[in-house]
Amino acid sequence: MTDAPSAPVDPFSPRTLAIERMRKRPQFLACAQAPSCARGAVVVQARERADGSEVVHAGFTATRRIGGAVTRNRAKRRLREAARLLLPDHARPGFDYVFIARGGAPARPWPRLLDDVKSALIRLAPDNDRRAPAPPPSPAA
């Protein structure tokens, strides 16, 4: 039996990331210590796990300050859908993300909510890049 050579990786093809839900309280508490970004109707926290896994974990929460159970569930459903659409393009492998609904999340227009989540994810990316060593400068010609 011979091993077939693997196909070359196309940098322009859509990225497939394994995304799992966070369900345990200690995962959320660990993420609470990480950098966060508040944009409009959402707060996003991002934490590098450093466990060598490429899986992205995503958690969703809404406090009682948002409203009753129906309102909180609606806010979390909307955040889950926004994360489902945006995490494959903007998440970093090996990171945990917690999405926290703010006051306007249940009634915010859908395009604006997507914009809030996207801008928060983009804003958190440079914070995570600062930990990595800078590439050496290229020699001048």
Please answer whether residues 40 and 113 qualify as being in contact, where contact means their C-beta atoms are separated by less than 8 angstroms: yes
Record the pTM: 0.78
- Yes or no: say if 127 and 53 are a contact pair by the CB < 8 Å rule: no
Instruction: pLDDT tens for the chain, 141 residues: list them.
Output: 445 555 454 444 455 778 899 999 999 999 999 999 999 999 999 999 888 888 999 999 999 999 999 999 999 999 999 999 999 999 999 899 999 999 889 999 999 999 999 999 999 986 545 444 455 566 665
pLDDT given for residue 115 in this prediction: 95
Q: 119: Cβ–Cβ under 8 A, 6 or more apart, which residues?
A: 39
In the prediction, which pLDDT does 17 show?
Answer: 78
Q: 141: how many CB neighbours lie within 10 A of its CB?
A: 3
Identify the sign of the CA torsion 27, 30, 34, 37: positive
Distance from C-alpha of 81 to C-alpha of 33, rounded to nearest angstrom: 25
